[in-house]
Structure formats: structure tokens, C-alpha cells
Amino acid sequence: MAYELDSMAKVCYLKALHLMIGLNILKGWCSYVMLREEIISDTLIKHYSDAGFLIRQIETGALYGEAVDLRPCRYTYEETDIPENPEEEEDGEVDNVEG
């Protein structure tokens, strides 16, 4: 049976969900995950890491820089420790790779 939430209940649910996602036990220490969700429209939601890492779709293992899904979203995501742009040096310039 599906339940319809009023707007205040939806806000509380989203805040609790973000808190649960935000705290993650990783390799024995507590770290803050920078996975973000942004509602784009009534039908679309965007998932991304604001720390510059790839995100992994848990159900498939696929890696993305950002993912846009239909709402309600049937997928869940987690932040990885893989940089989104691994070829960038610390000074922000891209390495020239000869092949």
C-alpha cells in the first residue's frame, strides 16, 4: 500500500534521508559524504558529488560524474573516492598525454 505524504512530512523525510546519507562509516572512521541531490523539476532529480568524485549507482555498479533520473527515483547512489577528472593536476591544469 502506498502512502501519500503532505509537504511538511516530505521535507522531514528528505532531511532525515540526507542526514543518513551524509554520515558514512568508511574504512573504520566517520567521514562526511558530499553526495548531493538536486530536484530539477517535478519529474527529474540530479545526483552528484560536490567534492569532485564519481558516484556509483548501487544497483548496477555504474559510475557517473552526475546522474539525472525520473522522480520518484528508483536508484540509489554512493560517492566513490575516484576523482571525476583524474588527469587534472593539483594546479588545475590537465596533463598532456601523448599516445
**What digits encode the pLDDT tens for the residues 10-58?**
666 666 655 555 554 443 344 455 788 999 999 999 999 988 899 999 9
- Surface-to-core class of residue 37, CB atoms within 10 Å of its CB (0-12 exposed, 13-18 middle, 19+ buried): middle
pLDDT at 51: 87
59-81 pLDDT, tens digit each: 999 999 999 999 988 999 999 98
Could you give the CA distance from residue 72 to residue 56 in angstroms, rounded to a whole number?
18
> Where does residue 77 rank: exposed (0-12), middle (13-18), buried (19+ CB within 10 A)?
buried
* Structure-block grid coordinates of residue 91: 594546479
Evaluate the CA torsion angle 4, 10, 16, 22 in order and state its sign: positive
Is the C-alpha dihedral spanning 58, 18, 79, 74 positive or negative? Answer: positive
